[in-house]
Structure 1
Amino acid sequence: MENSDSRLNGLEHIQELLSSKNLRVCVVGVGRIGLPTALSFAKSGLPTIGVDINADLVTRINSNDYPLKDEPGYDVIFNQVVTNKKFHASTKIEDVVPNSEVILLSLPTPMDKNNIPDYSALKSVGAKLGELLEPGSLVVVESTIEPGFVENELVKIIEDGNKHLVAGKNFSIGVCPETANPGEIMLDFTHLPRLVGAIDEKTTKIIMEIYEYVFPVELIPMPDCKTANAVKLTTNVFRDLNIAFVNQLALLFEKLGIDISVVLDAAKRKYNFQVHYPGPGVGGPCLPVNSYQMLNSAKQFDSNMLSLVKTGREVNESMPDHVIDLIIDGLKDAKKEISSSTILLLGISYKPEVKDIQLTPAEKIVEKLKEHGAKIKIYDPFFKSVNVFDIQTENNIEQALTNVDSIVLVTAHKEFYDLKPSYIASKIQMPVIIDTKRIFDTDDAKKSKLIFRSLGTGKF
């Protein structure tokens, strides 16, 4: 590569590359976050290539088949940049990285079966970067990681792959943690502030210069990588804990005969109350994982540190059990046993309007129902006529409603807001409805004489 030693040697050079649109960008990992990120860079006019080990995904992208049907807005950008050959994907990291000035890492950081963060994807790619990076390259980690992972592990992995590479001397590294909400990435990428941290101030400024060119949002400089990652984890652990708090309130209010929705609606009017809502559990690749990442960081100092976070996890992970209790209680009023009943789950995605079942509480509900011997049906508009959790899902709501004893609303997809309790009552004899997201009209449910359970309200 020509002039590799002079690349990224200052803001003036970056500005020159940006203004001429010759700054070559490689995004490693083009999934839920990585693909919109790559498309954003390509749309800005910078030569951008996506890299992924998923050959089928790469083929879809290069065939102009937009893979994120539930991510609105980026489909238009995708069609523009792929059709105009401004973006493509590859499985060959060895071809792309040496010909890129900037390498963005948007790789998954899941948990293992023991709830320990799994950084194997980042470590594997880091080892390859050690072999492939040209001097002067810039690595930016967007993946959500524990504070200190870059400084304590990733830098060493890269340097060990090439004795001539030294972070801060002939290659740079920093972080810009993604903050996008699946299903709303276009909105978040154009409105939410981003955090930038690096191994030195110069690199932080360079990263900010690049991201200012691509994203019309506030960029907040952090003193280092670990601080930026700590902020990212703090915001999500805050949510996980507050959801756990209202979940516990929901359990209490059911026994007290208090409607939690009335409580929360009034409480949120106070200036310093940030409302969160109860539900059947917390899923997805972020909140549960982020809490365990924080716990993993804490245990190196004290196994009891952040005990509140641990308790919050336990509360949220127990909510599927409470859903089962509500089902059993409702069926008891209908003089039915769960072991001889057919249960319809409405929605299995971990959140509304997203085709994603990562760590969804629906999976635990299915497992518990199987343990009780119940027959299970599933209808989710994003998972029609496919096998999920070893169950063949239904193709439409009318078909799903036939021959069931209980309906459990798990995910509040938009389609379900139009589903009236009175309509359900007309389809099913003596139906039992469990509303874990509180979207059904309770007045309509009462008039329809349903056996109805709503999380945080109790029975009527």
Structure 2
Amino acid sequence: MNLELSKIITLQSDQINSQLNLDSIKVAVVGIGRIGLPTAILFAKSGLTTIGVDINQNLVEKINHSIFPLDDEPGMKEIFNDVIKNKKLIATVDIKHALSQVNVVILSLPTPMTDNNIPDYSSLESVGKQIHDFLCPNSLVIVESTVEPGFIENILIPIIEGQDKKFEAGKSFSIGVCPETANPGEILKDFKTLPRLVGGINNKSSELISLIYSHVFSVDLIQMPNCKTANAVKLTTNVFRDVNIAFVNELALLFEKLGIDIFTVLDAAKRKYNFQVHYPGSGVGGPCLPVNSYQIINSALSNSLPIPKLISVSREINERMPIHTLQLLKDALDSIDKKIIKSTIGILGVSYKPNVKDIQLAPAEKIISELKSLECNIKIFDPYFISTDVFSIRTEQKIEDMISNSDAILILTAHQNFFSINPEIFNKLMKKPIVIDTRGIFDITELNRLKIIYRGIGRPY
């Protein structure tokens, strides 16, 4: 490797810009999943030779054979095809080789939870050890993964430095954060429009990250005083949503009993300038919101500080919503003297959010598990999971196959094309149609006109 390239943290701003324009800065993106792969694609599109690293051999082979794995990300496939064709992006499972070829390492690794709701940073810690072993001296490490405040300073840096002090942060390598902020299903749009946070262990690392990201993304870069503040901002924005969804879910449970339609309330409330609308549902899933709330809680616990009560209670509310959904189902079946045990339940949508192929921490999983314990026959239709196994159930090829002969339909995801479903289909294919709509897909008046038995979260019946 060019000696100058191995010393990126020693270069001045004009030298960095020159290296960027000459494609002399080489990048490895470790973790090429939902966010990491689009990140690697955009870095490659900017002209920088980029290596994607992942332990998933099948994913690596797909990428190297020009098979794009994220068809639910509009506009990204065309860019992917171009950078693969021009050999600006390659993928590998060999992190040792990748780190030997680059002087910028971007970590886009998952940070899930354990079964006890403790953040699991094992992937980052494992890669941190490999960085210690194989990183080129004077390289830059950028963490995009969402972590709690203090993780970089207190855990990751000591791992990279190692007990042998092979490296020293700020001297023989530099490190900082630029937390990802993209919304699954809208990643390219968000990459083009959403500001990014930049925080480093010192001014030099922040400057380097800003120069590199300015070359790749035409968005504002918000300078944070350090890594932990940048990570705190990222968590704050997502926990805000989790808490507000819990607030609306709690109102929804009350309004059901009062005969008030939560969606009518929200439609009027959102017209006030300072009200930011959130919607109720069968639970909050995905790799971000639930995890981020527990990261904040864990941050308090690990520092022997009081647990944030509002966040903790919000988690409890949102985690109870799958059980409330099942109670609505049981209530509707009871209204026609039908027992939920051994009934046939059709599920419409299993993704954790609309318009993406992703079931991470989806509320559907808990609901399906409970239905299995009741010996229910479960049928699933989701346009993103056709004729495939989801939660150990083979999904249906057509929506009609899911509806036909079901005792009740549970709507768990608000995919856009569900809004065009003609509710008359339920009368045609079900003996006594029951619809449990947890996402406000259907108009109550229309379902009542069709004499469909209806229950919905936050909706009168």
Given the alignment, which residue of 43, 47, 65 partners 2:49? 47
Hey, what does 2:413 align to over in structure 1?
411
Hey, what does 2:2 align to over in structure 1?
2
Compared CA separation, residues 167 and 301, structure 1 to 2 (3 A) = closer
**Are 1:124 and 2:142 matched, yes or no?**
no
Given the alignment, which residue of 136, 140, 143 partners 1:141? 143
Hey, what does 2:228 align to over in structure 1?
226
SS at match of 2:198: strand
Given the alignment, which residue of 158, 176, 179 partners 1:177? 179
1:328 shift after superposition: 0.7
- The aligned runs of 1:157-236 (5 Å cut-off) are 157-160=159-162, 163-236=165-238
Given the alignment, which residue of 7, 24, 27 partners 2:26? 24
Task: Measure the CA separation in 2 of the matches of 1:126 and 1:340.
Answer: 49
Compared CA separation, residues 160 and 288, structure 1 to 2 (3 A) = same
1:69 shift after superposition: 1.2
Task: Measure the CA separation in 2 of the matches of 1:428 and 1:455.
Answer: 22
- Aligned residue type for 2:237: T
Task: Measure the CA separation in 2 of the matches of 1:149 and 1:247.
Answer: 32
Task: Measure the CA separation in 2 of the matches of 1:444 and 1:219.
Answer: 48
Contact 1:28 1:50 in 2 (8 A): yes
**Are 1:299 and 2:301 matched, yes or no?**
yes
Given the alignment, which residue of 338, 346, 350 partners 2:348? 346
1:345 shift after superposition: 0.6
1:76 shift after superposition: 0.4
Hey, what does 1:428 align to over in structure 2?
430
Contact 1:348 1:360 in 2 (8 A): yes
Contact 1:14 1:209 in 2 (8 A): yes
Moved more, 449-458 or 32-41: 449-458
Contact 1:129 1:161 in 2 (8 A): no
SS at match of 1:7: helix
Hey, what does 1:395 align to over in structure 2?
397
Hey, what does 1:34 align to over in structure 2?
36
Contact 2:347 2:402 in 1 (8 A): no
Task: Measure the CA separation in 1 of the matches of 2:294 and 2:411.
Answer: 27
Task: Measure the CA separation in 1 of the matches of 2:251 and 2:174.
Answer: 48
1:302 shift after superposition: 4.4
- The aligned runs of 1:63-102 (5 Å cut-off) are 63-102=65-104
Deviations 1:127-150 (A, max 9, x none): 011111112100000000010111
Contact 1:8 1:14 in 2 (8 A): no
**Are 1:103 and 2:105 matched, yes or no?**
yes
- Aligned residue type for 2:67: D
Task: Measure the CA separation in 2 of the matches of 1:152 and 1:301.
Answer: 12
Compared CA separation, residues 176 and 275, structure 1 to 2 (3 A) = same
Hey, what does 1:317 align to over in structure 2?
319
Contact 2:9 2:205 in 1 (8 A): no
- Aligned residue type for 1:275: V
Contact 2:132 2:166 in 1 (8 A): no
Q: What is the aligned-residue identity percentage?
A: 56
Hey, what does 1:282 align to over in structure 2?
284
1:433 shift after superposition: 0.4
Moved more, 372-381 or 53-62: 372-381
Given the alignment, which residue of 377, 391, 404 partners 1:375? 377
Task: Measure the CA separation in 1 of the matches of 2:116 and 2:101.
Answer: 39
SS at match of 2:314: helix
SS at match of 1:3: coil
1:20 shift after superposition: 1.2
Moved more, 178-187 or 407-416: 407-416
Given the alignment, which residue of 349, 355, 358 partners 1:356? 358
Deviations 1:30-86 (A, max 9, x none): 100000000000000011110111111000000000011111111000100101211
Given the alignment, which residue of 243, 247, 250 partners 2:249? 247
1:11 shift after superposition: 1.5
Deviations 1:290-344 (A, max 9, x none): 0000000011344642011111001000000000110011111122111142110
- Aligned residue type for 1:7: I
Hey, what does 2:446 align to over in structure 1?
444
Equivalenced residues, count: 459
- Aligned residue type for 1:101: N
Task: Measure the CA separation in 2 of the matches of 1:52 and 1:454.
Answer: 42
Contact 1:236 1:286 in 2 (8 A): yes
TM-score of the pair, normalised by structure 2: 0.97
SS at match of 1:453: strand
SS at match of 1:339: coil
Compared CA separation, residues 296 and 314, structure 1 to 2 (3 A) = same
Moved more, 190-199 or 295-304: 295-304
Moved more, 292-301 or 106-115: 292-301
Task: Measure the CA separation in 2 of the matches of 1:389 and 1:111.
Answer: 19
Task: Measure the CA separation in 1 of the matches of 2:456 and 2:165.
Answer: 61
Contact 2:405 2:431 in 1 (8 A): no
Task: Measure the CA separation in 1 of the matches of 2:293 and 2:307.
Answer: 13
TM-score of the pair, normalised by structure 1: 0.98
Root mean square deviation, CA, Å: 1.2
Task: Measure the CA separation in 2 of the matches of 1:212 and 1:436.
Answer: 42
1:162 shift after superposition: 5.6
Moved more, 389-398 or 25-34: 389-398
Task: Measure the CA separation in 1 of the matches of 2:143 and 2:154.
Answer: 14
- Aligned residue type for 1:69: D
Contact 2:104 2:139 in 1 (8 A): yes
Compared CA separation, residues 161 and 59, structure 1 to 2 (3 A) = farther
- Which stretches of structure 1, 4 residues or more, deviate above 6 A after TM superposition? none
1:429 shift after superposition: 1.7
